[in-house]
Amino acid sequence: MITRVVKVASAVAILFSAACGSVNDPGDGLVCTTEARAAISLTVVDSLTGQPAAFAGLFARAVDGTYVDSASFFTSPGSGAVSTGLAYERKGTYTVTVGAAGYQNWVKTGVNVTAGECHVNGVVLTARLVR
């Protein structure tokens, strides 16, 4: 009976892993997903309202040494939250800069992203842009 339960449990685990896009490391039984995860998850809001705004010329940049990842956005009134991921699956210590026309640049230094067993241990930031 125990053998049968183990075989059934193993079959279910394999099917579940395949359905979820996972890769199983048989060495230690760790199951890692195959999607890329952002090292930095960034949301941008207006500092006065705490809400998204119609930012013109909005950009975000993460720099670690010679490595640079950046994104630029087009937003319009009522378009909702402005969010992005930067430096996918890359550990490091970053300086993150966000800017938009009519706003001061927002800068956060020393953003430390570490490696986990399967993915990076991402950092969540909210850039509150000041006019």
Q: Quick: pLDDT tens for 68-96.
A: 999 998 887 777 779 999 999 999 999 99
Closest to 73 in 3D by CA, of 56, 89, 90, 48: 56
Q: What does the radius of gyration of the chain's CA atoms come to, in whole angstroms?
A: 20
**pLDDT value of residue 15:** 39
- Read off the amino acid at residue 28: D
**pLDDT value of residue 52:** 87
**Averaged in consecutive runs of 10 residues, what is the pLDDT profile of the chain (131 residues)?**
36 40 62 96 94 91 98 82 94 98 97 97 97 93
Give the global pTM. 0.78
Architecture of domain 40-129: Sandwich (2.60)
Spatial contact of 126 and 45, defined as CB atoms under 8 Å apart: yes
Domain ranges of the chain: 2-33, 40-129
**pLDDT value of residue 76:** 76
Measure Cα distances from 48 to 42, 53, 109 in Å: 18, 10, 22
Tokens of 69: 């990842």
Closest to 103 in 3D by CA, of 63, 44, 61, 62: 44
Strands 40-46 and 30-33: unpaired
Spatial contact of 99 and 58, defined as CB atoms under 8 Å apart: yes
